[in-house]
Amino acid sequence: MKIAVMAGTPIDTNMGAVLLEKNGFSEGEIIRIPISENPVKQTIFQTSETEYKKKVINGHINNIKKADCNVLFVYCNSLSGAVDFEKLEKKNNIKIVTPMQIYKEIAGKYKKIAVFAANAQGLAGIENAMFKGNSEINITGMTFLEIVKEIEKGTLPEVIAEKFHFGKLTEYLKNLGNEAILLGCTHFPYIESEIRKKSDMEIINPSQEMLEKIKQKS
């Protein structure tokens, strides 16, 4: 079985591919599809005209279908929030897995949750998905494109944690009454261990749930 990994940049596309490889997929089964060169260009793409985004994504979907690929794994929260992949799945008759599917399902478990997103597009998409799953949920949303840039540069996780004051940040979120922190960007598992060191709050990484979705659709 072939599976395509689509993400915002080459870095998070590779992160998605590595996740698949660690969970039983071989290199030869994985097609990598980065949409943009870097996080800033990806944010520009996400805020472009809807028809343009559809044209670009549809072009990639047509190519992976020609390559006999039957599952598209969208390993990017902000891209998932900026493009209606649910409609594209139906239109193109291809199985698509995105983080937004997970957020809709888990929203009912929480009354108040903090979300770390890459940009406003990703945060809006996550809010939309979670409100569909639980209209009463209270969301404290934060965007950290600068952290994404640091991750793309290869800055050590502990250096990022100090630069962005993870201890004070998580303490603030806990004091607001948040039950958990959702890692709403696929770059952020890179800093997950550092967040856990600074806080006893529940940290939600949707990667495993997405892998289960892939297995169900395969």
Domains, the chain, with CATH or none: 2-98+208-217 (3.40.50.1860), 101-205 (3.40.50.1860)
Q: What's the CA angle centered on 169, arms 163 and 170, to 5 degrees?
A: 125
CA distances from 177 to 104, 105, 116 (A): 21, 22, 16
**Single-letter amino acid code for the residue at 37:** E
pLDDT (0 to 100) of residue 21: 95
pLDDT tens, position by position, 60-84: 999 999 999 989 999 999 899 899 9
96: number of CA atoms within 13 Å, CB side?
Answer: 28
Q: What is the pLDDT of residue 1?
A: 77
Percent of the chain with pLDDT over 90: 87
pLDDT at 218: 73
Q: Could you tell me the pLDDT band of residue 97, with boundaries at 50, 70 and 90?
A: very high
- Strands in the chain per DSSP E: 2-7, 30-34, 69-74, 95-97, 112-117, 138-143, 180-184, 202-204
Q: Give 121's contacts (C-beta < 8 A, 6+ positions apart).
A: 43, 46, 47, 78, 81, 82
So what's the pLDDT on residue 52? Answer: 95
Q: Is the pLDDT of residue 53 over 90?
A: yes
User: How much is the pLDDT for 217?
Assistant: 79
Cα(108)–Cα(134) distance, rounded to whole angstroms? Answer: 5
* pLDDT tens digits, 138-197: 999 999 999 999 999 999 999 999 999 999 999 999 999 999 999 999 999 999 999 999
Model confidence, pTM? 0.88
Q: Is the pLDDT of residue 216 over 90?
A: no
